[in-house]
Amino acid sequence: MAESTRTGSFEEFVLARSASLYRTAYLMTGRRAEAEDLLQTALIKLYVAWPRASIVAAPEAYARRVLVNTFISGRRPARFTRERLVRIPPDLAVDDPDLDDRLTLWPLVVSLPPRQRAVIVLRYYGGLSESEIAHALRCAPGTVKSTASAALRSLRMLMGELR
Domains defined for the chain, CATH in brackets: 2-74+96-162 (1.20.140.160)
Instruction: Write the Ramachandran bin of 158: left for phi over 0, alpha for psi from -120 to 50, otherwise beta.
Output: alpha
Residue type at 114? P
Q: For position 93, what pLDDT does the model report?
A: 52
48-73 pLDDT, tens digit per residue, is 999 988 888 888 999 999 999 999 88
* Average pLDDT estimate for 24-37: 92
Mean pLDDT of all residues belonging to the chain: 82
* Highest mean pLDDT pick, 5-9, 22-26, 89-93: 22-26
Q: Report pTM.
A: 0.59
Contact 147, 153 (CB under 8 A): no
Q: For position 79, what pLDDT does the model report?
A: 56
Return d(Cα 69, Cα 134) in angstroms, integer: 12
Return d(Cα 118, Cα 42) in angstroms, integer: 15
Angle 96-102-106 (CA atoms, 0-180°, nearest 5)? 105
114-146 pLDDT, tens digit per residue, is 999 999 999 988 889 999 999 989 999 999 999
Share of the chain above pLDDT 90, in %: 52
